């Protein structure tokens, strides 16, 4: 039977990590997968997480199954973090949160839900988008199409083209937007642009799904939720997919959430019954440990304050590296104006490098980034920035 199976290509993002690990060159630089690294190039366990782990282990008294949507205390913490304590959505009961294995798990649950309950729905994706988005929805059997998002000439949001495309989307379709820190471009709508986008989406009768994987990596926890809050209009339906891989550094614990917001609490209960059915047929119920860490941190004011400080430090380091990159690219006479890097938000910079230039950086300089030219700014350090910028200048023909 297995004779007929053909090899799959390596994953465009996680496959880079494998290639990087296998590279024997000592001065290699990894700007591929979206994982935070400190100045020394390490991805440490956040001290707030270390303390929460101690407490969770200490009070752990069972390994019994969790409910299908996970611990209700976690669900409440997810909603309060995303929308803010006391928000109408949190208080009204018209939102139901399920703990999923990471943000990817949340997206897959949404895909299964759409496929099983709204089978004629097409999901619209930004051009470009996270390389795994099309694969997740294809695996769930949800058809996808794309719409314009990014203007590479201006290095900015192409709002007119985006709004024109949304206007033409058929009612009953769904649109996947990045809640903040757009992956891969680092370009987010402003508050006014979010309003125009939400107006257009709701006028078209399209269901918004927000992939919210980087809350706190842009401008701050509350600031980064501006788009989500704009979409949360009275009685409006939407879905939010949260991930705590990045902002809590819990990558391998797989901690995420899918929150379905319905028009009222009654509809929400019906929708959630179908979400639970989708989860049960997929992974049955979620793993407990990572979510317990998040619930513990968010539920203790002192630990939460500490975590917010640690998140601010990660955000500050990345934004500092953005400025340093701009300065160093100029110092190394890289052709062009790279000022846009400082304005992009989140972990990534869409550098404008072409696929052949990215390939050359890898083969000649042991510098790894995603083929689209996406660079993980968190992989840049004061120790490697000169070598990186000199190599970029060289492949650009300086
Ligand atoms: C990324 O875009 O690099 C991250 O979201 C990690 C992943 O799973 O691709």
Instruction: Report ipTM for this prediction.
Output: 0.95
Q: Is-contact 304 81, C-beta < 8 A?
A: no
CA–CA gap between residue 184 and residue 348 (Å, rounded): 6
pLDDT confidence bin for 346, thresholds 50/70/90: very high
Atom of ligand 1 at shortest distance to CA of 213?
5
17 lines ligand 1 (CB under 6 A): no
Tokens of 244: 């705590």
Tokens 């694969």 sit on residue: 135
The rounded distance, in Å, linking the Cα atoms of 328 and 189 is 28
Q: How many angstroms separate the CA atoms of 366 and 357, rounded?
A: 12
Query: How far is C-alpha 374 from the geometric centre of its chain's CA atoms?
Result: 14
In the residue annotation, 211 being an active-site residue is answered as: yes
Kindly state the average pLDDT of the residues 11-31. Answer: 94
Q: Is the CB of 370 under 6 A from ligand 1?
A: no
- Residues 366, 251, 257, 141: what is their CA dihedral angle, to the nearest 10 degrees? 50
CATH number for the region 10-44+316-395 comes to: 3.90.1150.10
In the predicted model, is pLDDT for residue 145 greater than 80?
yes
Residue whose CA is at the smallest distance from ligand 1 atom 1: 34
CATH class label, 65-299: alpha beta
**Structure-block tokens of residue 355:** 């696929």
* Rounded average pLDDT over 141-164: 96
pLDDT digits (tens, 9 = 90+) for 255-300: 999 999 999 999 999 999 999 999 999 999 999 999 999 999 999 9
User: pLDDT tens digits for 78-105?
Assistant: 999 999 999 999 999 999 999 999 999 9
Contacts of 178 (CB under 8 A, 6+ apart): 126, 129, 130, 188, 210, 211, 212, 213
Tell me whether residue 27 is one of the annotated catalytic residues: no
Find out whether 140 and 118 touch, Cβ atoms under 8 Å: no
Separation of alpha carbons 204 and 283, rounded Å: 34
pLDDT of residue 54: 98
Cβ of 33 closer than 6 Å to ligand 1, yes or no, is: yes
Tokens read off for 99: 């703990």
Active site residue 130: yes
Ligand 1 centre from 60 Cα, in Å?
31
Residue 301: burial class (beta carbons within 10 Å; 0-12, 13-18, 19+): exposed
The ligand 1 atom nearest the CA atom of 13: 9
Q: What is the pLDDT of residues 228-252, one digit of tens each?
A: 999 999 999 999 999 999 999 999 9
Q: How far is the CA of 301 from the centre of ligand 1 (A)?
A: 30
CA 251 to ligand 1 center in whole angstroms: 10
Kindly name the residue from 83, 112, 246, 328 that is annotated as catalytic. Answer: 246
Which numbered atom of ligand 1 lies nearest the CA of 103?
5
Q: Taking the domains of the chain in order of start, what are their residue ranges?
A: 10-44+316-395, 65-299
**What would the DSSP string read from start to end of 59-95?**
H----PPPPTT--HHHHHHHHHHHH-TT-HHHHHS-E
Q: How far is the CA of 58 from the centre of ligand 1 (A)?
A: 32
Mutate to test the pocket of ligand 1, among 10, 13, 256 (most ligand atoms within 8 A of CB): 13
- With the CA atoms of 74, 79, 85 and 86 taken in that order, what torsion angle do they form, in degrees rounded to the nearest 10? -120
d(CA 242, CA 300): 20
- CA 159, 164, 168, 171 torsion: positive or negative? positive
Q: Is 5 helix (H, G, I), strand (E, B) or coil?
A: coil
Looking at residue 397, its pLDDT comes to: 87
For the cut 90, the answer to whether the pLDDT of residue 133 exceeds it is yes
- Atom of ligand 1 at shortest distance to CA of 130? 2
Tens of pLDDT along 44-91?
Answer: 999 999 999 999 999 999 999 999 999 999 999 999 999 999 999 999
């Amino acid at each position: 039977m297995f004779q007929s199976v053909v090899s799959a290509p390596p994953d465009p993002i996680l496959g880079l990590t494998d290639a990087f690990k296998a590279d024997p060159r000592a001065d290699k630089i990894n700007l591929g997968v979206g994982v935070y690294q400190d100045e020394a190039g390490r991805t440490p366990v956040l001290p707030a997480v270390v303390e929460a782990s101690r407490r969770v282990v200490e009070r752990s008294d069972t390994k019994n199954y969790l409910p299908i949507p996970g611990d209700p205390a976690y669900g409440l913490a997810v909603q309060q973090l995303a929308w803010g304590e006391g928000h109408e959505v949190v208080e009204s009961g018209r939102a139901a949160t399920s703990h999923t294995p990471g943000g990817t798990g949340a997206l897959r649950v949404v895909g299964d839900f759409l496929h099983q309950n709204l089978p004629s729905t097409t999901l619209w994706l930004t051009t470009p988008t996270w390389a795994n988005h099309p694969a997740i929805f294809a695996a769930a059997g949800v058809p996808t199409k794309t719409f314009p998002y990014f203007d590479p000439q201006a290095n900015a949001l192409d709002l007119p083209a985006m709004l024109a495309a949304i206007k033409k989307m058929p009612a009953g379709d769904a649109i996947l937007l990045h809640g903040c820190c757009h992956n891969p471009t680092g370009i987010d709508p402003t508050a006014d642009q979010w309003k125009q986008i939400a107006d257009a989406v709701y006028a078209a009768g399209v269901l918004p799904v927000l992939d919210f994987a980087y809350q706190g990596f842009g401008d701050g926890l509350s600031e980064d939720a501006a788009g989500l809050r704009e979409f949360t209009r009275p009685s409006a339906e939407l879905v939010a997919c949260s991930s705590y891989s990045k902002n809590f550094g819990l990558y391998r614990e797989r901690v995420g959430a899918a929150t379905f917001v319905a028009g009222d609490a009654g509809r929400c209960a019906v929708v959630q019954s179908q979400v639970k059915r989708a989860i049960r047929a997929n992974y049955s119920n979620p793993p407990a440990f990572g979510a317990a860490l998040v619930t513990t941190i968010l539920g203790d004011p002192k630990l939460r304050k500490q975590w917010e400080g640690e998140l601010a430090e990660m955000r500050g380091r990345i934004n500092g590296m953005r400025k340093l990159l701009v300065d160093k690219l100029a110092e190394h006479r890289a052709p062009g104006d790279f000022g846009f890097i400082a304005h992009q938000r989140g972990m990534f910079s869409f550098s404008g490098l072409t696929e052949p230039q990215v390939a050359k950086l890898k083969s000649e300089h042991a510098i790894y980034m995603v083929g689209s030219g996406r660079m993980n700014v968190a992989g840049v350090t004061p120790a490697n920035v000169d070598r990186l910028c000199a190599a970029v200048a060289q492949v650009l023909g300086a």
